[in-house]
């Protein structure tokens, strides 16, 4: 079996005790690395100021080598905050209005990818399979090929791929498309993303669909596929069951006694539809006065990317909005929205999902959305909650037992909340079982296996 080399912007490095950070992706990829032996390379998350970064820092754990590089301040600014998070992220989430193009940032993105390639290439052996993750590193394969590497190289995009009309507003779309052609497998979350990608090839006349998932462009042929990422379903379900006895979760349960809990968990990001969701909750309460004092909406939203101005502004907007709704609707003995602006431990999160009668996952656009899958896995089979899910999340293509909503339709989302809260037990069980059966079969290990099967020679 070939060795595996994973490259991602950030690397979930285990701590000194050898414990890897929690999260299905880290666990699944680490398991694949353990099985084959290999390397996980990426950015250390640290800056070297304006000095040339030191050689790769290496950490050996069993048969896995973690290889980390620092970046300069300019690199971080241009490649990470600049092009990756202020151009590719908004464009791939259909937000043309938020993309900010700067020649410096675009150049920085390609430069840092070349730098990654130069640091990675000396570690590669001829039979290694290389698996590159996400939008930060699209040009990496082209750079490696330029250096003469003939290895099989795969790419997986964790976020959506937009239609041609959206992508082509980006000045460097041509280089980005060409960059993808240097991979042997290009993986997306859903068929819909793959269709968008094929549409981009057709529109510019730069590529062809050859059938059976094969594509050609820029003089190369490669496989394009949809590989829906998932969670460690069985383990998460068990985890959530055990979390019920966690003292913090017990406290939360006591604090909502006699009330139904609606739960939302998202990074603070404009793609997650948090402001629309709060509007919908307000609408739901106003339209259902009998629910006043009887429901609590808990929104857990850690800050993210605060260096990017749109995120900083959003932090203020959401806090103000939650405050305004609470000011307008609260009673002396009831606060409708509990807004937590930080991360919580995974076991607490799992226990809180299980307490939620309704899981609200309403992104405006999302590659997959693992919160939706975690919410389902965490439910009590005897009394499961209802998932209200945006039709624009990749997960909507699989989780057919959810109540699908259009998050831009505030009234429709409010109605779905009402329907979820009044859904009879039998219907809840039936819907949940359908989703859970699917998730048990399609867990993150399967995602990893499916991709590597296509990447293998
Ligand atoms: P994200 O945009 O980060 O991921 P998501 O898939 O929902 O979105 O994953 C978030 C993860 O962070 C979940 O595992 C969740 O439990 C955790 N998390 C969120 N809020 C938390 C909190 N307050 N405290 C602790 N943990 C929290 C990107 C894409 C997604 C895609 C994933 C994986 O945007 O569409 O599903 O990658 O491919």
> In terms of residue numbers, what domain contains 329?
232-439
- 25 and 172 belong to one structural domain: yes
Decide if 242 is inside a domain: yes
Q: Which residues contact 429 (CB under 8 A, 6 or more apart)?
A: 381, 384
- 210 and 236 belong to one structural domain: no
Other Cβ atoms closer than 10 A to 33: 23
Cα end-to-end span (Å), the chain: 10
- Supply 297's token pair: 């909406």
Report which ligand 1 atom has the smallest distance to the Cα of 229.
38
- 260 and 197 belong to one structural domain: no
Cα(370) to ligand 1 centroid in Å equals: 6
**How many distinct structural domains can be found in the chain?**
2
- 215 and 288 belong to one structural domain: no
Detail the DSSP E strand segments found in 190-275: 207-211, 214-217, 220-226, 260-265
The owner of tokens 């062809």 is 208
Helix (H) or strand (E) holding 59: strand 57-61
93, 133, 136, 158: the active-site residue? 158
> Closest residue (by CA) to atom 4 of ligand 1?
369
- 187 and 314 belong to one structural domain: no
Pairing relationship of beta strands 152-156 and 129-133 according to DSSP bridges? parallel
Pairing relationship of beta strands 152-156 and 185-188 according to DSSP bridges? parallel
Q: Tell me, what's the ipTM?
A: 0.98
Which residue pairs, CB below 8 angstroms and at least 24 apart, start in 172-178? 172/106, 173/200, 174/204, 174/206, 175/110, 175/139, 176/138, 176/139, 177/201, 177/204, 177/206, 177/207, 177/217, 177/218, 178/142, 178/217, 178/218
Instruction: Please identify every stretch of the chain with a pLDDT value under 70, giving residue numbers as ranges.
Output: 17-24
Cα(338) to ligand 1 centroid in Å equals: 20
Average confidence score pLDDT of the chain:
95
The owner of tokens 């699917």 is 438
- 19 and 145 belong to one structural domain: yes
In order of 9, 87, 96, 422, the CA distances from 230 in angstroms are: 20, 26, 28, 29
- Is there a catalytic annotation at residue 409? no
Question: Are the C-beta atoms of 317 and 275 separated by less than 8 Å?
Answer: yes
Q: In what order do the strands lie in the sheet with 38-47?
A: 57-61, 64-71, 38-47, 4-10, 129-133, 152-156, 185-188, 220-226, 214-217, 207-211
pLDDT in tens, 294-329: 999 999 998 888 888 888 889 999 999 999 999 999
> Closest residue (by CA) to atom 9 of ligand 1?
370
pLDDT in tens, 383-415: 999 999 999 999 999 999 999 999 999 999 999
Question: Are the C-beta atoms of 329 and 336 separated by less than 8 Å?
Answer: yes
Domain limit, last residue, from 225, 242, 258: 225
Residues with CB under 6 A from ligand 1: 23, 158-159, 229, 265-267, 300, 302, 343-344, 349, 366-371, 374
135 vs 127: CA distance, rounded Å: 25
- 182 and 304 belong to one structural domain: no
Q: Residue 151: what pLDDT?
A: 98
pLDDT in tens, 246-276: 999 999 999 999 999 999 999 999 999 999 9
Q: Residue 24: what pLDDT?
A: 63
- 274 and 413 belong to one structural domain: yes
Question: Are the C-beta atoms of 299 and 343 separated by less than 8 Å?
Answer: no
Q: Residue 96: what pLDDT?
A: 96
- 260 and 221 belong to one structural domain: no
Task: Indicate the pTM of the whole model.
Answer: 0.97
Cα(344) to ligand 1 centroid in Å equals: 13
Cα(368) to ligand 1 centroid in Å equals: 9
- 184 and 100 belong to one structural domain: yes
> Closest residue (by CA) to atom 3 of ligand 1?
267
- Is there a catalytic annotation at residue 136? no
Q: What is the CA radius of gyration of the chain?
A: 23
Q: What is the CATH number of the domain that holds 413?
A: 3.40.50.2000
70, 193, 366, 443: the active-site residue? 366
Cα(423) to ligand 1 centroid in Å equals: 27
């Amino acid at each position: 079996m070939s060795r595996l080399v994973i490259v991602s912007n950030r690397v979930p490095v285990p701590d000194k005790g050898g414990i890897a950070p929690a999260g299905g992706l880290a666990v699944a990829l680490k398991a694949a690395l353990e099985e084959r032996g290999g390397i996980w390379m990426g950015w250390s998350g640290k800056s070297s100021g304006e000095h040339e970064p030191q050689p790769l820092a290496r950490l050996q754990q069993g048969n896995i080598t973690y290889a980390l590089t620092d970046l300069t301040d300019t690199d971080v600014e241009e490649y990470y905050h600049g092009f990756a998070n202020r151009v590719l992220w908004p464009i791939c989430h259909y937000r043309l209005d938020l993309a900010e193009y700067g020649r410096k940032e675009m150049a920085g993105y390609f430069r840092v990818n070349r730098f990654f390639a130069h640091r990675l290439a000396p570690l590669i052996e001829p039979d290694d399979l290389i698996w590159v993750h996400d939008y930060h590193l699209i040009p990496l394969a082209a750079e490696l090929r330029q250096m003469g590497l003939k290895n099989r190289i795969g790419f997986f995009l964790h976020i959506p791929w937009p239609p041609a009309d959206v992508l082509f507003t980006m000045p460097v779309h041509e280089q980005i498309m060409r960059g993808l052609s240097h991979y042997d497998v290009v993986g997306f979350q859903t068929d819909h993303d793959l269709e968008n990608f094929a549409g981009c090839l057709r529109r510019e006349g730069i590529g062809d669909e050859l059938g059976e998932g094969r594509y050609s462009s820029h003089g190369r042929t490669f496989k394009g596929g949809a590989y829906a990422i998932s969670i460690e379903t069985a383990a998460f379900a068990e985890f959530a069951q055990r979390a019920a006895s966690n003292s913090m979760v017990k406290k939360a349960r006591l604090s909502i006694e006699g009330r139904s809990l609606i739960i939302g968990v998202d990074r603070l990001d404009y793609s997650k539809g948090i402001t629309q969701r709060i509007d919908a909750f307000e609408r739901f309460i106003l339209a259902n006065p009998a629910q006043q004092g009887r429901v609590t909406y808990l929104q857990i939203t850690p800050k993210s990317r605060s260096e990017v101005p749109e995120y900083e502004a959003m932090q203020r907007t959401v806090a103000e909005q939650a405050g305004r709704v609470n000011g307008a609707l609260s009673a002396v003995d009831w606060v409708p929205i509990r807004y937590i602006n930080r991360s919580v431990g995974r076991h607490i999160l799992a226990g809180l999902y299980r307490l939620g009668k309704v899981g609200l996952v309403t992104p405006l656009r999302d590659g997959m959305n693992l919160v939706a899958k975690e919410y389902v896995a965490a439910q009590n089979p005897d009394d499961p909650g209802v998932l209200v899910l945006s039709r624009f999340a990749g997960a909507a293509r699989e989780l057919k037992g959810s109540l699908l909503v259009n998050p831009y339709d505030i009234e429709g989302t409010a109605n779905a909340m009402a329907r979820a809260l009044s859904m009879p037990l039998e219907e809840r069980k039936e819907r949940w079982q359908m989703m859970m059966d699917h998730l048990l079969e399609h867990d993150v290990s399967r995602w990893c296996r499916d991709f590597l099967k296509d990447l293998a020679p």
